Structure 1
Amino acid sequence: MSTKIHSYEDLVAWQKAHALVLRIYQTTNTFPKEELFGLTSQLRRAAVSIPSNIVEGFGRWGSNEKKRFYNIAQASLKEAHYQLRLAEDLNYADTTDTRLLANEVERLIGGLIKGVPHTEKSSS
């Protein structure tokens, strides 16, 4: 059974990335107030970048452009993953489940990248 993708909201990768952002916002609400402009802000920015770049990639027509934005989403995910680890090491929160969700999102974005056709040719 094949589900037709009409919007970025139909992408499981976007759905899970959005869930990750919501979870990160909940988690960072418990961080110390002195981290508001430090780790809290940085982690939230990295997290929001993930589904935002999936959306931007989805909206691109060219294969290279799609891949570029999906790769940016993946890089932001790696950044957030480290920051979650740091938050746990600093005893700000238990981020184990959130990092597991991040791993799932990483696999899904990898699938998006692999699913982009390799048909684009450079124009001369």
Structure 2
Amino acid sequence: MKFKFESLLIWQKAMDLGDNMDKLTELFPEKEIYNLSSQIRRASDSVALNISEGSILQSGAEFRKFLGYSIRSIAEVVTCLHKAKRRNYISQKAFDGFYKDCFDLMNMTIAFRNKVK
């Protein structure tokens, strides 16, 4: 038995994003625990949370709204990644990999939102 959202590739990738950002923030300095670390973890977790919450709604318009929240959360994660890179908490290579993951997930989520009626 599964919930409908569990079969969505965007939800699965969003779950991966949350896990990856959680692991990444373990490398941040302790001074960031209540600032950037917390922010990037909350934003990345919000992506999957909004997909699952929106998927249970009866209205396609409401689901699209929650997918929009997920898209905005991905943009927030990207901004946090830029901040982490600028503060030298992550390497360029790590940044590039996470950036691509976010870029791909955002495009997939936008495409999925466009198909929801």
**Cα distance in 1, alignment partners of residues 76 and 27 from structure 2:** 20
Q: Shift of residue 112 of structure 1?
A: 1.7
Which structure has the larger Rg?
Answer: 1
Backbone CA RMSD of aligned residues: 1.3
Per the alignment, residue 103 of structure 1 pairs with 103
* 1:93 Cα deviation after fit: 1.1
Paired with 1:115 and 1:18, the residues of 2 have a C-alpha distance of: 21
Q: Which runs of 5+ in 1 are unaligned?
A: 118-124
After TM superposition, the runs of 4+ consecutive aligned structure 1 residues lying more than 3 A away are none
Equivalence map 1:1-124=2 (5 Å): 7-94=4-91, 95-117=95-117
- Aligned identity (percent) is 27
Alpha-carbon distance in 1 for matches of 2:82, 2:109: 20
TM-score relative to the length of structure 2: 0.92
Post-superposition offset of 1:78: 0.5
**1:99 match: secondary structure:** helix
Paired with 1:116 and 1:59, the residues of 2 have a C-alpha distance of 13
Q: Which structure 2 residue ranges, 5 or more long, are not aligned?
A: none
The one-letter amino acid paired with 1:34 is K
Deviation of residue 81 (structure 1)? Answer: 0.7
Report the structure, 1 or 2, having the larger helix content: 2
TM-score by length of 1: 0.87
